[in-house]
């Protein structure tokens, strides 16, 4: 971890830059994949599964037998954990539903807004170095609550053509039955453009590697919506002298282990706290199964000592972290000043892992400073907001002249006439 003591404010803009690669270099190859999928459909997916996943698939779709058999392969303890997480996530997201509120803006003019589910959605669930069945919960639960009619799941197969049992079990729990054995940019292409086995969807959700990230950005240019811009995982921890260095180190490593391109940041006003956390990082890193990933991520990570809690808050808002942990004694005083963050964890006993798995909040969040303008996935991500209005005879008489005056001022005579012709009819009655 790179250590920085009291950096000048002018240097902050450089410090908040992520160590990301030039993803534009990947675009030509991904566009070739898109074209292959458009032209050859399922056959392209089978070819690319052999090329990139090293597997010769007999079928792209998981069979009913495979889905049913998965339940017996998932340990009972894990099933119970998944069910508990499912319950918490469902409860939290159900509360996000908005009742229809009809507003009479003036006598006889009524307006309201209704949430309507997106008919067809695609969920991409990574299945490589870490089979993220937790992400399936995070996406599948709100899709189900919203009432999406068609939910397509794409996830890369293992070398033997199987899908991780926990992913199949979770899909079954959610009622997702169309499960496609496809990963990478080709899976995104299949969901965006459609194949014989994969219906084209209207919006694509889910994290992935750099190829998936760029593929999602490219299909969004082609008119297919995506959940949000997402890249490597990240966490920023603000710690004061009340923080437990072992807790802080564990939180930093929980994100560093995602991959070599992840980034973690520690902000503190105490050099002593930074030194103690660094010592804990070295101890805990040695016993991690994903030590190599975490070690690489730490090379691109920062430990920064600043002059005050306000400076730490200001730096954090500029950085706009995916995950923000306030490991301080007085988080109540700081939390109202947070303006840019994907998800916030308050106090010494709120590990970021809780949000990743089971507390109820969604873990699909904006990274790479996109939290300055984007929210994480929620129930709203799976619906459209459609506005309605009803104007009575009296209402048109009340609002008509306003519309006519504005339309005339803009030189849009047909707009004015759409009102005028009705008012004339009303005046004849």
* 39 marked among binding-site residues: no
Joined together, the tokens standing for residue 69 give 């058999």
* 356 marked among binding-site residues: yes
**Total domain count, the chain:** 3
Does residue 208 form part of some domain?
yes
Residue 219 sits in the same domain as residue 241: no
Average pLDDT, the chain: 95
Q: List the domain range (segments joined by +) for residue 69.
A: 23-100+120-226
**What integer pLDDT is reported at residue 259 of this predicted model?**
85
Question: How much is the average pLDDT of 336-341?
Answer: 97
pLDDT tens digits, 221-270: 999 999 998 788 999 999 999 999 999 999 999 999 988 889 999 999 99
* 124 marked among binding-site residues: yes
Residue 267 sits in the same domain as residue 153: no
CA 416/CA 409 separation, integer angstroms: 10
Using the 3D structure, point to which of 198, 226, 254 is the last residue of a domain: 226
* 258 marked among binding-site residues: yes
Residue 80 sits in the same domain as residue 187: yes
Residue 288 sits in the same domain as residue 200: no
Residue 37 sits in the same domain as residue 67: yes
Using the 3D structure, point to which of 175, 201, 226 is the last residue of a domain: 226
CA 69/CA 169 separation, integer angstroms: 9
Helix (H, G, I), strand (E, B) or coil at 408: helix
- Which residues are within 8 A (CB) of 316 and not within 5 positions of it... i.e. 6 or more apart? 236, 238, 267, 324, 338, 340, 341
Annotation says 322 is catalytic? yes
| Residue 55 in this model has a pLDDT that exceeds 90 | yes
| Residue 66 in this model has a pLDDT that exceeds 90 | yes
| Residue 280 in this model has a pLDDT that exceeds 90 | yes
Does residue 380 form part of some domain?
no
Joined together, the tokens standing for residue 156 give 């890369």
Question: How much is the average pLDDT of 337-362?
Answer: 98
| Residue 331 in this model has a pLDDT that exceeds 90 | yes
Residue 259 sits in the same domain as residue 220: no
CA 265/CA 369 separation, integer angstroms: 13
Residue 213 sits in the same domain as residue 69: yes
Single out the catalytic residue among 93, 164, 323, 348.
323
pLDDT tens digits, 67-95: 999 999 999 999 999 999 999 999 999 99
Question: How much is the average pLDDT of 388-410?
Answer: 98
Dmax (CA) for the chain in angstroms is: 87
**What integer pLDDT is reported at residue 128 of this predicted model?**
66
Does residue 410 form part of some domain?
yes
Annotation says 80 is catalytic? no
Residue 349 sits in the same domain as residue 264: yes
**What integer pLDDT is reported at residue 308 of this predicted model?**
96
Which has the closest alpha carbon to 30: 227, 203, 156, 186? 186
Using the 3D structure, point to which of 211, 226, 241 is the last residue of a domain: 226
Which has the closest alpha carbon to 122: 37, 48, 47, 180? 180
Does residue 4 form part of some domain?
no
Does residue 1 form part of some domain?
no
* 233 marked among binding-site residues: yes
| Residue 25 in this model has a pLDDT that exceeds 80 | yes
Does residue 385 form part of some domain?
no
- Which residues are within 8 A (CB) of 402 and not within 5 positions of it... i.e. 6 or more apart? none
| Residue 129 in this model has a pLDDT that exceeds 70 | no
Residue 163 sits in the same domain as residue 247: no
Residue 345 sits in the same domain as residue 312: yes
**What integer pLDDT is reported at residue 261 of this predicted model?**
87
What is the CATH classification number for the domain harbouring 400? 1.20.5.1300
* 93 marked among binding-site residues: no
Question: How much is the average pLDDT of 99-120?
Answer: 97
| Residue 291 in this model has a pLDDT that exceeds 80 | yes
What is the CATH classification number for the domain harbouring 284? 3.40.50.1980
Does residue 109 form part of some domain?
no
pLDDT tens digits, 165-214: 999 999 999 999 999 999 999 999 999 999 999 999 999 999 888 899 99
Q: Could you identify the residue written with the tokens 């918490």?
A: 88
* 164 marked among binding-site residues: no
CA 191/CA 152 separation, integer angstroms: 8
Does residue 8 form part of some domain?
no
First-to-last C-alpha distance (Å) of the chain: 80
Q: What is the dihedral of CA 139, 349, 324, 155, to 10 degrees?
A: -30
Q: Could you identify the residue written with the tokens 């005083």?
A: 333
Residue 371 sits in the same domain as residue 285: yes
Phi/psi of residue 29, nearest 5 degrees? -65, -40
Residue 280 sits in the same domain as residue 263: yes
Single out the catalytic residue among 311, 322, 348, 363.
322
């Amino acid at each position: 971890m790179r250590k920085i003591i009291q950096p000048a404010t002018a240097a902050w803009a450089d410090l908040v830059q992520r160590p990301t690669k030039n993803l534009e270099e990947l675009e030509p190859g991904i566009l070739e994949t898109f074209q292959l999928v458009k032209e050859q459909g399922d056959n392209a997916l089978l070819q690319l599964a052999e090329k990139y996943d090293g597997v010769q698939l007999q079928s792209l779709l998981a069979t009913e037998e495979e889905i049913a058999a998965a339940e017996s392969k998932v340990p009972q303890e894990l099933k119970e954990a998944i069910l508990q997480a499912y319950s918490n996530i469902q409860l939290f997201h159900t509360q996000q539903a908005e009742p229809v509120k009809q507003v009479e803006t003036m006598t006889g003019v009524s307006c309201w807004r209704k949430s309507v589910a997106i008919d067809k959605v695609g969920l991409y669930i990574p299945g490589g170095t870490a089979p993220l069945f937790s992400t399936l919960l995070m996406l599948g639960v709100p899709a189900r609550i919203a009432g999406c009619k068609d939910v397509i799941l794409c996830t890369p197969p293992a070398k033997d053509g199987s899908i991780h049992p926990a992913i199949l079990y979770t899909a079954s729990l959610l009622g997702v039955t169309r499960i496609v054995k496809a990963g990478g940019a080709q899976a995104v292409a299949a969901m965006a453009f459609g194949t014989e086995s994969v219906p084209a969807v209207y919006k694509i959700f889910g994290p992935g590697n750099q190829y998936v990230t760029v593929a999602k950005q490219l299909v969004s240019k082609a008119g297919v919506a995506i959940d949000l811009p997402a890249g490597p995982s990240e966490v920023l921890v603000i710690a004061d002298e009340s923080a437990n260095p072992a807790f802080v180190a564990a939180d930093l490593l929980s994100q560093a282990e995602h991959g070599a391109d992840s980034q973690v940041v520690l902000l503190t006003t105490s050099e002593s706290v930074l030194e103690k956390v660094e010592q804990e990082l070295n101890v805990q890193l040695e016993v991690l199964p994903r030590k190599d990933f975490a070690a690489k991520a730490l090379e691109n990570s920062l430990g920064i000592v600043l002059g005050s809690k306000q400076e730490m808050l200001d730096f954090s808002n500029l950085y706009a972290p995916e995950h923000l942990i306030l490991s301080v004694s007085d988080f109540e005083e700081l939390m109202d000043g947070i303006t840019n963050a994907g998800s916030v964890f308050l106090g010494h006993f709120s590990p970021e892992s809780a949000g990743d798995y089971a507390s109820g909040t969604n873990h699909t969040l904006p990274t790479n400073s996109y939290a300055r303008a984007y929210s994480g996935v929620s129930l709203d991500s799976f619906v459209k907001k459609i506005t309605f209005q009803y104007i009575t005879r009296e209402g048109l008489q009340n609002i008509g002249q306003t519309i006519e005056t504005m339309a005339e001022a803009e030189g849009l005579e047909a707009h004015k006439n759409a009102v005028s012709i009705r008012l004339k009819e009303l005046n004849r009655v």
